[in-house]
Structure 1
């Protein structure tokens, strides 16, 4: 089973590259952002709780996020693998994901970290906001999310690095060139 974590700050291109990985390797995409938006859109009890946290620019508690991920994995027993987008954001989440996957007889194959500067992120998100009008692209909320990434979330990378599972990829440039590099990395994991 091929289980990938695609890592990077808001606007790094995780969604764009995730779709290419899904198409190329027939993976099931699990995006915490998409899960949160679905629950919010359906106005579930969980969605109402998540909505308030996101509106305040806060991270959703691990217990809620992990329960949603486990539910999503369990819905796809025939999957050839998963791509985790926007998760894990803390070492505790990474450890919980490892435990859950181990209970299913699998684990994280590798982690691709898209390396993008803050200036590039700001420019990309401004363009995305103009096109899609995503609520989480509001400039103040976005600033808080980027700060959250660079102050907290980025500390998950050493967790995977010590396991020999982390590869950093330059996330600036042509989308196809970036995907070519990601594919080269993933193909190396598939062959091993």
Structure 2
């Protein structure tokens, strides 16, 4: 299957992408991984991306598209893939369509993870990270530390990252609504969108997604 995963910040896209890719036996291709791989390997696209990032500028679509095209041409992605974070806007979606058309293939589904805005803010703004080890992450509601402000693992101070503040989260949501959300309508016009609720346990959301994708796959058979 060839799937695009979309949803607002805090919808759990990364977590669901990993589970779904494993269950469907297809590679999980995320924008973050593409950038890190190309920059660490010193590819031409990686150098271009790093120059923009170091200057504090957004990486142009053509660079991101080039990285995605290269990754999707790898042997493990020939039979399918799950895209996470790409396409990020309608221009990238159109470029992806042209790219796939050139290969004689097309997307099977666009999985839209739906989460109420207030829940997104609650999920992200409630995160607390250990100053000693950023891998130690807690949540004031869903996974609180035993002692407020103290890491269970090492006793370090827990703090809220600047990009997890409510103000920043709402700004990220504005960007999502303006830039990324329009691709849902773009793909809906092609009959590709499958929307599921991303509320509840991770395993429940994965099961919901698998069921929806199987229905979609059967409908296109």
Q: Which SS does the other structure have where 1:107 is aligned?
A: coil
Larger helix proportion, structure 1 or 2? Answer: 1
TM-score, normalising length: structure 2: 0.74
Gaps of 5+ in 1: none
Quickly say closer, same or farther: Cα 1:123–1:189, change in 2 above 3 A: same
2:10 counterpart residue number: 11
1:167 counterpart residue number: 194
Gaps of 5+ in 2: 138-160
My pick for the range that moved more, 86-95 or 29-38, is: 29-38
**Higher relative contact order structure (alpha carbons within 8 Å, sequence separation ≥ 6):** 1
- 1:72-126 deviation per Cα after TM superposition (whole angstroms, max 9, x unaligned): 1112366321101011121111111011011111111110111112222223224
My pick for the range that moved more, 123-132 or 29-38, is: 123-132
Q: Which SS does the other structure have where 1:152 is aligned?
A: helix
* RMSD of aligned residue pairs (Cα, Å): 2.7
Matches within 5 A, 1:1-192: 2-40=1-39, 44-52=46-54, 58=58, 60-76=59-75, 79-126=78-125, 130=129, 132=135, 137=163, 139=165, 142-191=169-218, 192=221
Larger radius of gyration: 2
TM-score, normalising length: structure 1: 0.84
My pick for the range that moved more, 137-146 or 112-121, is: 137-146
Q: Which runs of 4+ in 1 moved over 3 A?
A: 37-44, 126-129, 131-144
